[in-house]
Amino acid sequence: MPYPTPACLLNVDLHPGKPAILHTDAPDDAPGWAAEHRHNLRSLVTEHGVLLIRGLQLRDADQAGAVLRRLAPALMTDKEAFAPRQTYTPGVYSSSTWPPNQPMCMHHELSYTLHPPGLMLFACVTAPTTGGATAIADAPTVLEALPPELVHRFEQEGWLLTRSYNDEIGAPCAEVFGTDDRTAIEDYCRAGAIEFAWQPDGSLRTRQRRPAVTAHPVTGRRCWFNQIAFLNEWTIEPEIREYLIDVHGAEGLPFNTHFGGGDPIGPDIIQLLNDTYTAHTTREPWQAGDVMLVDNVRTAHSREAFQGPREVLVAMAEPLRLSECPPTTEVSAG
């Protein structure tokens, strides 16, 4: 049954260009407050797609992590990450390691896995001097803004992610799979519909095909749900891309995306996708102590370039099964 919304959760600001922001007076016990109101807060996330909670005045990573664990008691273990993370406590991580001067494009976290998180949780301990917002975009709106013929092709084919694990860029193989045991990695890949091939130098390459459009598990709305633009070669800085191709070859890029049938995705399409995201992006600069909850299916998120220290904790919860948000393309290993 739905929970009644307490008066302290009714002060939600809705302004164009910004996420929904809930202002609250700092409670004496922030983790206890989070536990008491988590059901109502989760309902607000479903309603708005994202909820920024301001006023908790979190003091440090320990307190921030405790709040995240109370908001979603069953946190997920990060698997198949594209970039390294630091583990604070089980299920609570640092933001992905990524150069501060390079933005992380819009994406839906782990949308290339079989069980992506339905809920993303962020807590800001230290806000950057400039930039660094975790910006968001509404996935159904983005889908409706894309050319119908492009959407139709991706609905029919899905998208293909290829990965090549090396020590230069991206998360190490052992971190991605939680083990360096070849047999365990192969078992994981088979269970996750991931095609794998060990290279003569001992490195690993993988391929996995996933749906690009899916239905929201609660509302049923069609959502543009993928990481096609973010993990594509044309999103990599040109000089870095050229260096990686020179060293590892075009097939050895750390990650790349293709149409589901294997055809390359050109820079014009990647530009179109990123421009569409930009046209529908909303943002609010981080303030120390902020917590943000993101519906990972309805809402894409990014990380903007920044200057100065930035410490934002990340957690994931509510793993989805593809049967809960039916794809229009069956998954496969490519």
Residue 46 is predicted with a pLDDT of 96
Residue 333 is predicted with a pLDDT of 60
Residue 1 is predicted with a pLDDT of 38
85, 77 Cβ separation under 8 angstroms: no
Fold of domain 1-334: Double-stranded beta-helix (3.60.130)
Residue 195 is predicted with a pLDDT of 97
| Cα gap 228→112, rounded to integer Å | 9
Residue 250 is predicted with a pLDDT of 87
Q: How far is CA 22 from CA 3, 13, 114, 147, 162, in A?
A: 17, 6, 32, 35, 40
From the CA atom positions of the chain, what is the Rg in Å? 19
| Cα gap 296→4, rounded to integer Å | 24
Residues contacting residue 224 through CB under 8 Å, at least 6 positions apart: 139, 140, 142, 143, 146, 151, 212, 213, 300
* Low-confidence residues in the chain, pLDDT < 50: 1-4, 323-329
Residue 223 is predicted with a pLDDT of 97
Distance linking the first and last C-alpha atoms of the chain: 42
